[in-house]
Amino acid sequence: MAGADLDPTRLVTSAPPSYHPSPRAPARPLPPGACDAHVHVFGPAARFPFAPERAYTPGDAPKERLFALHQRLGIERCVVVQSNAHGFDHRATADALAARPGAYVGIALAAPTVSDAELQRLDTAGFRGVRFNFAPHLGNATPIADVIAFGRRLAALRWHLQLYFESPLVHELAPAIAHSPVPVVIDHMGRVDASLGLDHPDFRAVRALSRLPHVWVKVSGAERISRSGPPYADAVPFAHALQDDAPDRVLWGSDWPHPNLGHVPDDGELVDLVGAYAPSAAARQALFVDNPARLYRFGATA
């Protein structure tokens, strides 16, 4: 998926933007140093073409739009997650990190066969981990045994693994995750279906993983697990449970610009939703500031 393999004549075209054009400001200011631990940047496709083998074509969502959103929300730190749309070509993500050095870090996409030199180059650019996708709509997945074995190569960099999967897969993945040699971050509350309730076996398995000392969970994606729609009240009990299970290993992210979603959420509304499951100042400080600072090492040099 390297940039040299791309065909600009095929890849410049992008879909309409999927983000809210004018999100509201949060009702309650975020604590200083607040982090948005899950966003993507897309394009602009004319400068950073999409990968030929991508599973979807997003609309342009460049770093300037992201920076404007964070200024409105009161976000000072950020984790930019490399997208399937850009594949292994990390130029768009690295460009965003370079514009906010130390305050914005990245999560890469990589094959387990990636060279040590490439991992070191990404580390120098501000990357902190590698994401592996197990969602069917994003194409073939790397076997979990290979992912965990690859994790041994990340330990020296102080990187972690990030896993995105649909909730039924948690039972298959859990035994390997339990033995990971590096921290594991589970995306979007394990993509559970909120309509199935807290006692569903899928969510019970996600909670069991969240209690392991090396496992972190993003209480993001309320707009994805909800079946009631905005303001996503049916997602709150799930985030609340995960917050209670491991208050020092939960992270929050907006998932801007919300690719592959059937509606356009208001990011200010997503921030305000946190008050329903992390109402205290201490809980918000941990979720938005202390936990991500510990995992992502903002400002750390290579």
Check residue 238 and give its pLDDT.
Answer: 98
Reported as a single tens digit per residue, the pLDDT across 209-267 is: 999 999 999 999 999 999 999 999 999 999 999 999 999 999 999 999 999 999 999 99
pLDDT band at 141 (very low <50, low <70, confident <90, very high): confident
Nearest alpha carbon to residue 118 among 84, 148, 82: 82
The sign of the dihedral angle between the CA atoms of 74, 22, 84, 146 is positive
Check residue 201 and give its pLDDT.
Answer: 98
Which amino acid would we find at residue 298?
A: F
pLDDT band at 16 (very low <50, low <70, confident <90, very high): confident
Over residues 63-84, mean pLDDT: 98
CATH topology of domain 3-13+33-296: TIM Barrel (3.20.20)
Radius of gyration of the chain (CA): 18
Check residue 17 and give its pLDDT.
Answer: 80
Check residue 140 and give its pLDDT.
Answer: 67
Domain chopping of the chain, boundaries = 3-13+33-296
Distance in angstroms (rounded) separating the CA atoms of residues 230 and 209: 28
Q: For helices 144-154 and 116-125, give the axis angle rounded to 10 degrees.
A: 70
15 bridge partner residues: 59
Return the structure tokens found at 212: 């392991």
User: What is each CA distance from 188 to 44, 52, 194, 256, 295, in whole angstroms?
Assistant: 26, 27, 12, 13, 17
Check residue 183 and give its pLDDT.
Answer: 98
The angle subtended at Cα 290 by Cα 124 and Cα 235, nearest 5°, is: 105
Q: What does pTM read for this prediction?
A: 0.93
User: What is each CA distance from 60 to 50, 91, 94, in whole angstroms?
Assistant: 10, 14, 16
Check residue 137 and give its pLDDT.
Answer: 65
Active site residue 255: yes
Q: Which of 255, 267, 272, 290 is catalytic?
A: 255
